[in-house]
Amino acid sequence: MSAPDPRGRLRRNLLWLGGIALAYGAIASGPGLWRRAFPPGFEFAPVAGLPGFRRLDTGAVSAGSPILIGLGDAPPRPAPETLRDGLCGHLFGGAVGTGAVPVAYFTDVRCTWCRVMTPLLRERAGGAAPSIRLAWHELPLLGEASVMAARAVLAAAEQGAGPALHARISGGRLVPTPEALARLADALGLDGARLRTDMDAPGIDRQLAASRGLADLFGFFGTPALVVGRTAVLGRIEAADLDRLIALEAAEAATAPCA
């Protein structure tokens, strides 16, 4: 029998000690580093009334006060049965069947945490081979100014500038008023008169109503909120967890309810 190799034993001990140091450092540096070093498995729960969909609870949300929600001229929601019939189309639009994971993104222009989530989603939806396809849903829950801003964003989308207007409003300190939105439209090279007319068009009413109804179905009481493939996510999600979820949904795409 050959004698034990002391150098091999030393290497094993150093690796063992290094693992202990990594774990200790992750604990000492807070839960964020610990989660990145040792990410936990996802814990899903079914979404009531929506077979095939599941829920993942995550982080912070910007939720409107019950006193504010529903103020303004937001149209009534469609009946849930209307949305369940053709749910995938209402939820994802043309994002299904593109080879990338469909993601429905519910956002409020005035939502603080959406300013964190929006760049993450745009990054993953961009490039020559995007990992996701985004379907945007304006979900104004933070009062009348949010409703007005959502109408302006949807109206700007009719001129091909919805994301640009959304970014300019959410990224600054602009308080959405008709005058401020008109000035912003002019700065973006839009037809301001058309924008003001389109903001009150029946089509905008239908879009807002459908997004609010979908949010009700999934239990989204705040923003940001996502449906990533089959998984509903309420609140901010860390970039690493988002990537893991996208990869999981891509692997399970063939059995997803909106495959």
Residues 136 and 246 in one domain: yes
pLDDT tens string, the chain, 259 residues long: the values are: 555 555 556 555 545 545 544 445 544 544 454 445 445 578 999 999 999 999 998 767 777 544 334 434 455 677 777 888 889 999 998 777 667 999 999 999 888 899 899 999 999 998 888 999 999 999 999 888 889 999 999 999 999 999 888 888 887 777 788 888 888 888 899 998 899 899 999 999 999 999 999 999 999 999 999 999 999 999 999 999 999 999 999 999 989 999 8
User: In the chain, where do the E strands start and end?
Assistant: 45-46, 54-57, 101-107, 132-138, 225-228, 231-234
Residues 89 and 155 in one domain: yes
Residues 18 and 87 in one domain: no
d(CA 192, CA 147): 18
Residues 27 and 60 in one domain: no
Domain that holds residue 10: 1-38
Is 224:235 a contact under the CB 8 Å cutoff?
Answer: yes
Q: What is the pLDDT of residue 233?
A: 96
Q: What is the pLDDT of residue 140?
A: 93
Q: What is the pLDDT of residue 15?
A: 52
Residues 1 and 120 in one domain: no
Residues 46 and 17 in one domain: no
Residues 224 and 180 in one domain: yes
What backbone torsions phi and psi does residue 153 show, to the nearest 5 degrees? -65, -45
CATH number of the domain residue 59 falls in: 3.40.30.10
Query: What Å distances lie between residue 215 and 9, 14, 225, CA to CA?
Result: 58, 52, 9
Residues 32 and 106 in one domain: no
Query: Which of 93, 78, 103 has the alpha carbon at shortest distance from 217?
Result: 78
Q: What is the pLDDT of residue 147?
A: 92
Residues 74 and 200 in one domain: yes
Residues 19 and 113 in one domain: no
Q: Which residue carries 């603080």 as its tokens?
A: 112
Residues 177 and 223 in one domain: yes
User: What are the helix (H) ranges across 29-107?
Assistant: 31-37, 80-84, 87-92
Is 141:64 a contact under the CB 8 Å cutoff?
Answer: yes
Burial class from Cβ neighbours inside 10 Å (0-12, 13-18, 19+) for residue 162 reads middle
Q: What is the pLDDT of residue 181?
A: 86
How many domains, the chain?
2
Residues 25 and 9 in one domain: yes
pTM above 0.75, yes or no: yes
